[in-house]
Amino acid sequence: MMRPVSVHMPRALPVAPVLTNPAGFILSWTDATPVDYLNPASWTLTGPAIGTAEIGYRIERATVATNGTVGTYGIVGTALANATTFTAPSTGASRFNYRVVAFNEAGDSTSTPILVGPAVTVPGVPVIGTATAANASAVARWTAPADAGGSAITGYSVRVVNAANVQVGALRTAAAGATSLTVTGLTTRTAVRFQVRANNAVGSGPYSSLSNAVTR
């Protein structure tokens, strides 16, 4: 008499969804292994895809600060294995990164995040500070803009202008975290003023107001 044999088919990670935001707060994603609850064969699949069917989805989001910093992801909803859309909660004036996680007994496969909310824009206006004359140079100072446009600031452009408000020389550059720049190569006994603009992945924001005049 033959004894019954139990065969266990190991699970494999599901295919990561490809997430899009076709309109408003509607999230839509691809499902490489669609599940039909009326068709048991779709629960486990066959061939190369065997064991990769998802059990369901988690929809997660993280706050995106005005400087582009992404916060901690938290679950805002779930979806069945045969779902491919989800209506996200309204973001109001805030920006959020959303991602969809397909899961089964083997673990999670996460989509690439997408931004939902107001569009990312160029940074706001830096606040110009007090410029001072230094040894054979001058120092321009500023404060970072209150709103970086939803994308991290990548650097600053510093403009030197003369008494006629004409730009002197090329734009000077400063690093993303800078709040001052020592400007060299200025003409002796000539008054200059400075303007600063912030840059991010979208482009360059507007210039600040002019600084006080300094003479080297």
Element (H, E) at 194: strand 191-199
Average pLDDT over residues 11-23: 87
Does residue 109 share a domain with residue 136?
Answer: no
Does residue 81 share a domain with residue 138?
Answer: no
Does residue 109 share a domain with residue 34?
Answer: yes
pTM comes to: 0.65
Give the CATH number, domain containing residue 88.
Answer: 2.60.40
Does residue 160 share a domain with residue 107?
Answer: no
Give φ, ψ of 176 to 5 degrees: -60, -40
pLDDT digits (tens, 9 = 90+) for 156-179: 999 999 999 999 999 999 999 999
Given a cut of 80, whether residue 187 has pLDDT beyond it is yes
pLDDT digits (tens, 9 = 90+) for 59-90: 999 998 888 889 999 999 999 988 999 998 87
Domain count along the chain: 2
Residue bearing the bigger pLDDT, 8 or 74: 74
Average pLDDT over residues 144-156: 92
Q: To the nearest whole number, what is the mean pLDDT of the chain?
A: 87
SS3 for 41? helix
Does residue 111 share a domain with residue 29?
Answer: yes
Does residue 162 share a domain with residue 89?
Answer: no
Predicted confidence at residue 151, as pLDDT, reads: 86
- What's the CA dihedral at 83, 84, 89, 90 to 10 degrees? -150
**What is the DSSP annotation of 125-177?**
PPEE---EEETTEEEEEEE--S--TTS---EEEEEEE-TTS-B-SSPEEE-TT
Does residue 134 share a domain with residue 109?
Answer: no
Does residue 140 share a domain with residue 76?
Answer: no
Query: Is residue 36 included in any domain, yes or no?
Result: yes
Does residue 205 share a domain with residue 131?
Answer: yes
The domain boundary residue, chosen from 116, 141, 176:
116
Does residue 135 share a domain with residue 203?
Answer: yes
Give the CATH number, domain containing residue 184.
Answer: 2.60.40.10
Does residue 102 share a domain with residue 70?
Answer: yes
Given a cut of 50, whether residue 5 has pLDDT beyond it is no
For 47, the domain range is: 19-116
Predicted confidence at residue 4, as pLDDT, reads: 55
